[in-house]
A and B are shown apart, each in its own frame.
Chain A
Amino acid sequence: MGNITFVEHDGTEHAVEIEPGKSLMDLALDNGIPGIDADCGGECACGTCHVIVEGNGVSITGSASDAELQMLDLTPERADSSRLACQIVISDAMDGMIARLPEFQM
């Protein structure tokens, strides 16, 4: 089994064991990662599980859907590899991926 590392805005790292099939949002919530609000509970409708994926994450997680991009447009901290964690389904291939958290969720 591999790991995904969440990095808080202040640099604190949390390495979490991969659970294939789960959403990245649920993985963060289940492991008590601070900074993921998940207000809509994974419906791609609030933008409060924003993460910036780095490393191999960019190619493995694929691209955001139109609905997801539209929500990401509402956040001022949007970066090129911004994603909503609720829209990423975890797979074994994501071992070593880094998900950086913004300073604020919108």
Chain B
Amino acid sequence: MNIVNLVAKQSAAIVPMPLQVKAAHLLYKTKVKLGVYTEFPEFVEAPVPDVSTLAIEDIDVSNPFLFKQGCWEPYFKRLRDECPVHFQKNSLFGPFWSITRYEDVMFVDKNHELFSSEPFIVIGQAPKELSVEMFIAMDPPKHDVQRQAVQGVVAPQNLKEMEGLIRSRAQEVLDNLPLDKPFNWVDEVSVELTARMLATLLDFPYEERQKLVYWSDLAGGGAQSTGGSNDMDELFKGMGEMAKDFSLLWRKKEAETAAGKKPGFDLISMLQNNDATKNLINTPMEFLGNLALLIVGGNDTTRNSMSGGVLALNKFPDEFAKLKANPSLIPNMVSEIIRWQTPLAHMRRVATQDVEVNGQTIKKGDKVVMWYASANRDERAIDQPDQFIIDRKGARNHLSFGFGVHRCMGNRLAELQLRILWEELLARFDSIEVIGEPEYVQSNFVKGYSKMMVKLTAKQ
């Protein structure tokens, strides 16, 4: 360990966390200035070429405009058909393998000893100075310990208690929507509802809940990590603010508990009440990382499934008629929405040894990207995969939650939120019409919407 790292490690225990993030930012900027780091280039949007004009080795599905320009489907179909385990050696994120078929994604996801989740689970990386640690990007056994500390908060038993609260929050939002007049569904419904839920789960000041949305978008939207449009200075600044607010919240809860108050049933209280995580605040990068994980995990995903469901029912109007005639299809439709949307397009692994996948030899140390968005449209595993079918048989067998030890911890909360949203929508509105084309997020990771204009007609 060199002297700089040693000092940094010792100071981590005494210097307040927001100052540490600030110092990390300065160090990062200095290294860029000195030429130690080349600054990651900003992505400039250009029309994505027709995939049929490309040689197979030139196909680069890390291009963050594939989803934004709505042309991802033929790209992944070509890989699935012609080269299901595909190597791209020249991407801006470095060389990587793409796994595109259902069966192969399942194999990689299941075998965590062959495919490590460390150090990052997105295609790119964060700057070293901001290398936060989160359990989604840890292997067992450390992963298991940290996950177990928090998974109780979203376990089905506890969700049962929260259903009434989730429903009343959904009702508040829906009762205030304009009728017969276009508005942006993404901001007014999807973002708003998920922010309310997150603030509740974290016991974060309710009136400041938009901060959670902002931090989540920042943490998930770096150019270097996922091809997003956020700049590095904003990222450091945002993470500094997040460190400050969550340190305060942590200390406040600690003081309340010390004063004899019964610990609440929120994520921070749960972390403080678990031996494995009660001192998490003393390891700032782990503290920040796990909070960012819980925020991003509960934000983009559900948000974009809330928008995706509306879009899907507009693209497949017969399914909306089917739904209105039979609302008991809602739970099955929720799984179908999550498959059809696949709000997180990929997860990344690193091979821990040479391993053969579908005839290709992946070398130890190679980056392996599981494209859930592609595998959820794999004709070999799913009948008519591009169709949105609300009474689809086996709708639960989608890959959007991942499989194996990293399977989505909040899956039941996501399903519950979406089920309640659709129950409340059907009770109020006759039609939910998408006006024009939605706008999509620039990212190779978040498959989502930045804007979708919608017009509601009240139920007669």
Q: Which residues of A contact B (CB under 8 A)?
A: 37-41, 43-48, 67, 70-71, 73-74, 76-77, 103-106
Contacts and interface: CB of A to CB of B under 8 A. Distances in A.
A43 B156 contact: no
A102 to B, nearest CB: 9
Given A76-B155, A103-B156, A45 B140 contact: no
Nearest to B409: A74
Given A45-B106, A45-B110, A47-B407, A73 B144 contact: yes
21 contacts: A39-B397, A40-B403, A41-B394, A41-B397, A43-B106, A44-B110, A46-B407, A47-B407, A48-B396, A67-B110, A70-B144, A71-B404, A73-B148, A76-B155, A103-B156, A104-B155, A104-B156, A104-B157, A104-B412, A106-B155, A106-B156
Given A44-B110, A45-B110, A74-B407, 5 more contacts: A45-B403, A46-B403, A103-B157, A104-B156, A106-B156
Interface of B: 106, 109-110, 140, 144, 147-148, 151-152, 155-157, 394, 396-397, 401, 403-405, 407, 412
Nearest to B411: A106
B294 to A, nearest CB: 16
**B contact patch SS:** helix
A71 B151 contact: no
Nearest to B381: A41
Contacts of B396: 37-39, 48
**A contact patch SS:** loop
B148 A40 contact: no
A28 to B, nearest CB: 14
A40 B412 contact: no
**Top 9 closest A-B pairs, CB basis?**
A104-B156, A45-B403, A45-B110, A76-B155, A39-B396, A45-B404, A40-B403, A41-B397, A46-B403
Q: Looking at B147, B152, B405, which has the most chain A CB atoms within 10 Å of its CB? A: B405
Contacts of A104: 155-157, 412
Given A45-B407, A74-B405, A40 B156 contact: no
Given A47-B407, A106-B412, A76 B106 contact: no
Contacts of B110: 43-45, 67
A105 B412 CA distance: 9
A30 B238 CA distance: 52
Contact of A43 (B152, B401, B403): B403
Contacts of A73: 144, 148
Nearest to B155: A76
Q: Looking at B106, B140, B148, B404, which has the most chain A CB atoms within 10 Å of its CB? A: B404
A11 to B, nearest CB: 18
B407 A76 contact: no
Given A41-B397, A43-B403, A76 B109 contact: no
Contact of B152 (A44, A76, A105): A76
B156 A74 contact: no
B109 A45 contact: yes
Contact of A71 (B147, B148, B157, B405): B405
Nearest to A67: B110
A67 to B, nearest CB: 8
A34 to B, nearest CB: 12
Q: Looking at A41, A46, A77, A106, which has the most chain B CB atoms within 10 Å of its CB? A: A46
Contacts of A44: 110
B405 A70 contact: yes
A72 to B, nearest CB: 11
Contacts of A43: 106, 110, 403
A77 to B, nearest CB: 8
Contact of B140 (A46, A47, A70): A70
A55 B394 CA distance: 32
Nearest to B147: A74
B418 to A, nearest CB: 16
Contacts of B157: 76-77, 103-104
Contacts of B155: 76, 104, 106
Contacts of A41: 394, 397
B297 to A, nearest CB: 15
A41 B394 CA distance: 9
A40 B405 contact: no
A38 B404 CA distance: 13
B106 A40 contact: yes
A48 to B, nearest CB: 8
A55 to B, nearest CB: 26
A45 B157 CA distance: 21
A94 B156 CA distance: 31
A77 B269 CA distance: 21
Nearest to B395: A39
A10 B300 CA distance: 36
B208 to A, nearest CB: 31
